[in-house]
Each structure stands twice: as structure tokens, then as C-alpha cells.
Amino acid sequence: MIDLSKIKVGDEIYIDGDSGFCTPHYVIIKSIDVELDPRTMQEFTSITMSDGHKFDSRTGRAMNPPTAYFIRLD
């Protein structure tokens, strides 16, 4: 199981999706950034992939379209 708190730039992560249109694939982490949640005002980490797709480290869910994708943790 992947621990999102221990990943680093350059790691390869498996991405999957909730839709039949999603193609599961591996992608490289390009950057890990600290952001501010506009609702809670709490800091959290976002993960940007080499293909430009961005994910929330708290949930593993996509933050930008296509939002059906998620980081596969198992």
C-alpha cells in the first residue's frame, strides 16, 4: 500500500479511474506542493504529475479534469 505522506518527486505512481473512459496507467511525480484549502483554511499537499494532472494527497482524488481519476493506493 502506498503511503502518500512518504512519496517524493520522481516516484512513479499508478493512476486509475471511476469511469470506463479512464485508462489506468503509471505516471511520474513532477512536484509536491503545499496548498491552502479554501473551505477549511488548512494546509494540505497536492501532487502534480508529469502529465499535468494534479491530485489531493488527503484523498488521492484528482483536483483538475478529468476528475474521475485517483491515485491507486493498493
C-alpha 35/C-alpha 42 separation (Å) is: 8
pTM of the predicted protein model: 0.90
pLDDT at 33: 97
C-alpha 67/C-alpha 1 separation (Å) is: 22
pLDDT tens string for the chain (74 positions)?
Answer: 678 888 999 999 999 999 989 999 999 999 999 999 999 999 999 999 999 999 999 999 999 999 999 998 87
- Taking alpha carbons only, the member of 65, 49, 64 closest to residue 15 is 49
Other beta carbons within 10 angstroms of residue 3's beta carbon come to: 7
C-alpha 27/C-alpha 49 separation (Å) is: 6
User: CA triplet 12, 59, 70: central angle to 5 degrees?
Assistant: 50
